[in-house]
Amino acid sequence: MILRSLILAAAALILAGPAAAQPLDATSQDALNQTLRILLDPASRGAAIATTPQGAALDQQLRGLAGSDALTQEFYALAGQILTELVQNTGGDAQKMLQAVERAQSDPAGFASMLSPATQQRLRDFAVKISDQRR
């Protein structure tokens, strides 16, 4: 249940932001780098979140799920890792990324299976941390 929620939250973040790995063109790489800076820097993230009601609502939901600032920051870092893999796996093709994120909404396990084993493990470890904190 928590793992599914985390996958869906990461997918929602990917939708809110801009197969085998493919090289990215310079524009796609720049967009990814800018998005990662926003995800990883709390001040930048806060400024970006404040620009949309959906962003603020999603951040509030994530904070409630994470239960602490440290775990919230860890979630955003994990979302950045997932986004990086998604962008690389689709060659930065926005349509393919959207299809993958839409798949996550109905098939979170299928979406997770497209991630690297290291990212899958990080996602499982994070789900355990969230679960342990709720006890």
Mean of the per-residue pLDDT values for the chain?
82
Per-residue model confidence (pLDDT) at position 71: 93
- Amino acid 22: pLDDT: 55
* Residue 74 banded pLDDT, cuts 50, 70, 90: very high
In this prediction, residue 125 carries a pLDDT of: 93
Look up the pTM and report it: 0.80
pLDDT digits (tens, 9 = 90+) for 53-62: 888 888 898 8
Q: Is the pLDDT of residue 18 over 70?
A: no
Residues 6+ apart with CB under 8 A from 105: 8, 11
| DSSP one-letter string for 64-106 | HHH-SHHHHHHHHHHHHHHHHHHHHHHTT-HHHHHHHHHHHHH
